[in-house]
């Protein structure tokens, strides 16, 4: 059984007017067109809806029952319209963000704190996810936007670059590698690592890269954040590969050496992932602009306007 919203609205107009002609006029239809649509509705329901009389129409018991349901349905339609109109408001809405480890722990907390302070009616769901999950969930509609870096792994999404990220080797001052500032990733695989947790994008990337050399990533310990990793590296537990921005921040209060990696993949573009720029909400566009502004550029406005 199929109901068209316009047919239910027309039925309400006719029932309330008590006249097919007056109801059709209220719906901006001809009487003939309204009559045809009501006959089609009766056919779908298998039930007569009106008694047609010289003075107008009278609802049958089935028509009276349908009027109750039709009014309820139309109220729900209005509720849906009202809710979604709020989502277009730049000061209200909900955003689900799937992001890599660097974004979740490094720069998004500061960006979201400012963004939400200016928009107290906005709610945010920020989740750390591996890169493959970020792309898949944005494509499937499970996330509004994704934030990641590196290569674009799937078709069917649009990306908005906003900065570059460099991966660096972090060591204690006394580590054998600490004086070598032009390392290859292969050079590091002879030493114990302090790594991030298994769900981390960086961890998964390093595991995959080490496998290309037929070597298992030499993990000594795994932790859940950059600060914990840096404290253990400072203590001499092992080395780590971390985003340069995070490493520099923790170097200010810890005794760490930061070394350049000469592999091409060490420099990565950061970007926001969306399914379609045209279809994202205004509040999502505002957040993307905020991310871009945080990284000191003004080009993104063209991309999302």
For residue range 163-221, what is the model confidence (pLDDT) as tens digits?
988 999 999 999 999 988 889 999 999 999 999 988 788 898 899 999 999 999 999 99
171 and 159 in one domain? no
Residue 142 belongs to a domain with what CATH number? 3.40.190.10
97 and 231 in one domain? no
255 and 278 in one domain? no
173 and 257 in one domain? yes
CA–CA dist 275, 119 (Å, integer): 24
How many domains would you assign to the chain? Answer: 3
Beta-strand runs (E) in 100-216:
121-128, 145-149, 158-171, 193-196
Region of residue 247 (left: phi > 0; alpha: psi -120 to 50; beta: else): alpha
> What does the pLDDT look like over 59-69, one tens digit per residue?
999 999 999 89
80 and 17 in one domain? yes
289 and 252 in one domain? no
238 and 219 in one domain? yes
- Total-model pTM: 0.63
Q: How far is CA 26 from CA 5, 11, 29, in A?
A: 15, 11, 8
129 and 11 in one domain? no
243 and 158 in one domain? no
pLDDT at 83: 64
> What does the pLDDT look like over 9-50, one tens digit per residue?
999 999 989 999 999 998 889 999 999 999 999 998 999 999
212 and 190 in one domain? yes
115 and 80 in one domain? no
Q: Residue 93: which pLDDT band, with cuts at 50, 70 and 90?
A: confident
Q: Half-sphere exposure (CA, 13 Å, Cβ side) for 273?
A: 33
């Amino acid at each position: 059984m199929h109901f068209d919203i316009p047919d239910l609205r027309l039925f309400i107009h006719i029932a309330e007017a008590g006249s097919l002609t007056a109801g059709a006029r209220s719906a901006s239809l001809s009487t003939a067109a309204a009559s045809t649509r009501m006959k089609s509705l009766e056919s779908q329901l298998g039930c007569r809806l009106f008694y047609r009389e010289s003075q107008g129409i009278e609802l049958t018991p089935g028509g009276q029952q349908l009027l109750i349901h039709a009014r309820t349905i139309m109220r729900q339609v209005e509720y849906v319209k009202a809710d979604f109109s709020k989502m277009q408001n730049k000061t209200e809405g909900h955003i689900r963000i799937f992001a890599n480890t660097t974004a979740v722990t490094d720069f998004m907390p500061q960006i979201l704190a400012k963004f939400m302070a200016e928009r107290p009616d906005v709610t945010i769901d920020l989740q750390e996810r591996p890169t493959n999950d970020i792309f898949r969930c944005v494509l499937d509609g499970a996330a509004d936007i994704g934030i990641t870096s590196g290569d674009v792994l799937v078709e069917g999404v649009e990306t908005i670059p906003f900065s570059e990220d460099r991966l660096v080797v972090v060591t204690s001052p006394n580590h054998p590698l600490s004086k070598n500032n032009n390392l290859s990733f292969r050079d590091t695989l002879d030493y114990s690592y302090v790594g991030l947790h298994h769900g981390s994008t960086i961890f998964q990337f390093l595991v995959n890269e080490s496998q290309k050399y037929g070597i298992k990533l030499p993990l000594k310990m795994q932790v859940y954040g950059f600060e914990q990793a840096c404290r253990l590296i400072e203590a001499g537990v092992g080395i780590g590969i971390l985003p340069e921005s995070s490493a520099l921040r923790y170097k200010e209060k810890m005794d760490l050496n930061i070394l350049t990696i000469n592999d091409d993949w060490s420099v990565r573009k950061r970007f926001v992932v969306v399914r379609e720029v045209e279809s994202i909400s205004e509040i999502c566009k505002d957040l993307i602009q905020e991310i871009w502004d945080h990284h000191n550029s003004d080009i993104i406005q063209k991309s999302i306007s």
